[in-house]
């Protein structure tokens, strides 16, 4: 019914095409989001005392289904996000660095439109909570 | 305020029990307590606001379980670690803090409850210094009969020797803090509290170095013992004299120590710890017939579980 040669039919055809294209784009975006993976290892960093910086050799690996331009950003509580590194025409990579923080940090993979595709968090915890007493002990 | 007073009474109960059990020294002991009471009560009244402004919390607690394997040289003549169990230790450590009152165990010692546990009150606290009044066991004491039984062999210098009871004391501690260092001085009075009279002064310095997730502590200290304390622990009384153990009445003495301790987190509950300490005893201790080592070395490896 769309293939009649009058103006009304042409408009209907164009609208259908646009809808189909949009649907395809949305579907592509959803597919990209769903297929993006971001893995942070280790997922937990434990320091000895509450409030102390925790150190870890961190590896972050990511992959997406389709090649594109992507960036890895670091999100810390009550701080503006910071871009760690970007890749052009890539569908996956890994970075390794020395993690150092006294609070949990979330890493996000974003695309060219700054849209988050995947995220992972490294939790910072501790063995001993803060004590109201400052104390050191003799060994023997 | 009422809770503070209740806790105050609860914490002071062991003092009263301990002191009044001594029987003969009731009057003198009561005098000591009366001497401390106004000071402590005054501080309860004055320092509650300070506590809450300095710290985020007014109550805290921590319980830990420690297991360690250690090598522990004993300065006593003929006393050594014998069986496998002598090299292992399992201990429970409990810390409580409520508005200046504290119970704290020695997190470094394998026998934390036997020696090193402190019960007291924080008289005042500032960011860089504090003053505490507390009850603590400073010298663990020993039972010669048990040491000989454990060795399954006679130790002539200890055979027939009377038990040396723990050195419990009421002490005043002044501590000075910098960012990573602590310098503390205890003045402890054993009179009326322990089997022996006398006093001791304990200086201790400790500095923390952090490397990645490691905490590394370097420390050193010196403990100065009065004549009476020395005579009780290292002296040989006339009625204790045997061929292997001549009469000995020491003068004042001291013990000096250097130590390094390191701790590393394994998980949220577990941490690994290790320590090495070297002690040096003054000649007045080393000259005692019951002592045969002027230097002792202590080494341990362990894990701590935090509840």
* Tens of pLDDT, residues B115-138: 567 899 999 888 899 999 999 999
With vertex at residue A110, the alpha carbon angle to CA A108 and CA A111, rounded to the nearest 5 degrees, is: 165
Q: Does the residue A15 lie in any domain?
A: yes
Nearest to B261 among A48, A135, A139 (CB): A139
Q: Does the residue A93 lie in any domain?
A: yes
Do A90 and A45 share a domain, yes or no?
yes
Q: Does the residue A134 lie in any domain?
A: no
Q: Do B263 and A133 touch (CB under 8 A)?
A: no
List the domain range (segments joined by +) for residue A4. 1-34
Residues of A in contact with B275 (CB under 8 A): 139
Q: Does the residue A139 lie in any domain?
A: no
* Percent residues over pLDDT 90 in chain A: 54
Domain ranges of chain B: 2-306
Interval B52-81: pLDDT, tens? 334 455 678 888 999 999 999 999 999 999
State the fold for domain B2-306.
Answer: Porin (2.40.160)
pLDDT at position B56, please? Answer: 53
pLDDT at position A76, please? Answer: 80
Contact B268, A128 (CB under 8 A): no
pLDDT at position A88, please? Answer: 94
Q: Which of A8-12, A66-70, B218-222 has the lowest mean pLDDT?
A: A8-12
Do A88 and A124 share a domain, yes or no?
yes
Do A61 and A108 share a domain, yes or no?
yes
Distance (Å, whole) CA B195 – CA B117: 19
The stretches in chain B having pLDDT less than 50 are 1-55, 112-114
Structurally, chain A folds into a number of domains equal to 2
Q: Do A140 and B257 touch (CB under 8 A)?
A: yes
Q: Which of A43-57, A77-91, B153-167, B173-187 has the lowest mean pLDDT?
A: A77-91
Q: Do B104 and A128 touch (CB under 8 A)?
A: no
Q: Do A137 and B109 touch (CB under 8 A)?
A: yes
User: Is the preceding peptide bond at A42 cis, omega within 30 degrees of 0?
Assistant: yes
Q: Does the residue A137 lie in any domain?
A: no
């Amino acid at each position: 019914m769309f293939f009649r040669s009058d103006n009304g039919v042409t408009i209907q055809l164009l609208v259908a095409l646009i809808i189909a294209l949009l649907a395809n784009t949305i579907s592509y975006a959803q597919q990209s989001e769903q297929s993006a993976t971001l893995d942070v290892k280790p997922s937990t960093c434990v320091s000895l005392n509450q409030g102390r910086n925790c150190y870890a050799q961190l590896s972050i690996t990511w992959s997406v289904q389709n090649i594109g331009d992507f960036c890895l950003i670091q999100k810390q509580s009550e701080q503006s996000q910071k871009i760690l590194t970007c890749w052009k025409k890539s569908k996956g990579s890994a970075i390794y660095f020395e993690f150092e923080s006294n609070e949990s940090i979330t890493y996000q993979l974003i695309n060219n439109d700054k849209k988050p595709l995947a995220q992972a968090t490294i939790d910072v915890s501790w063995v001993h909570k803060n004590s109201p007493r400052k104390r050191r002990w003799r060994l023997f | 305020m009422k809770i503070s007073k209740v806790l105050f009474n609860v914490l002071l109960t062991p003092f009263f029990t301990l002191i009044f059990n001594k029987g003969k020294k009731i009057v003198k002991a009561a005098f000591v307590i009366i001497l401390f009471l106004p000071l402590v009560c005054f501080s309860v009244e004055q320092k509650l606001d300070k506590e809450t402004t300095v710290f985020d919390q007014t109550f805290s607690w921590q319980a830990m379980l420690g297991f360690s394997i250690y090598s522990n040289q004993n300065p006593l003549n003929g006393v050594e670690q014998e069986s496998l169990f002598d090299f292992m230790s399992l201990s429970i450590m409990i810390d409580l803090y409520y508005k200046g009152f504290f119970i704290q165990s020695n997190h470094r010692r394998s026998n934390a409850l036997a020696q090193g546990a402190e019960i007291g009150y924080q008289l005042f606290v500032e960011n860089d210094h504090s003053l505490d009044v507390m009850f603590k066991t400073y010298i663990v004491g020993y039972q010669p009969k048990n040491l000989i039984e454990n060795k399954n062999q006679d130790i002539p210098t200890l055979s027939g020797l009377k038990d040396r009871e723990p050195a419990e004391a009421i002490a005043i501690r002044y501590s000075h803090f910098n960012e990573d260092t602590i310098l503390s001085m205890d003045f402890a009075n054993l009179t009326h509290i322990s089997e022996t009279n006398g006093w001791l002064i304990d200086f201790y310095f400790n500095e923390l170095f952090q490397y990645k997730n490691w905490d590394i502590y370097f420390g050193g200290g010196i403990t100065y013992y009065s004549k009476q304390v020395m005579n009780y622990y290292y002296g040989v009384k006339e009625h204790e004299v045997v061929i292997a153990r001549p009469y000995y009445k020491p003068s004042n003495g001291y013990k000096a120590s250097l130590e390094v301790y390191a701790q590393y987190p394994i998980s949220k509950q577990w941490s690994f710890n290790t320590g090495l300490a070297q002690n040096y005893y003054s000649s007045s201790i080393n000259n005692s017939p019951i002592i045969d080592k002027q230097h002792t070395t202590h080494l341990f490896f362990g894990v701590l579980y935090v509840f």
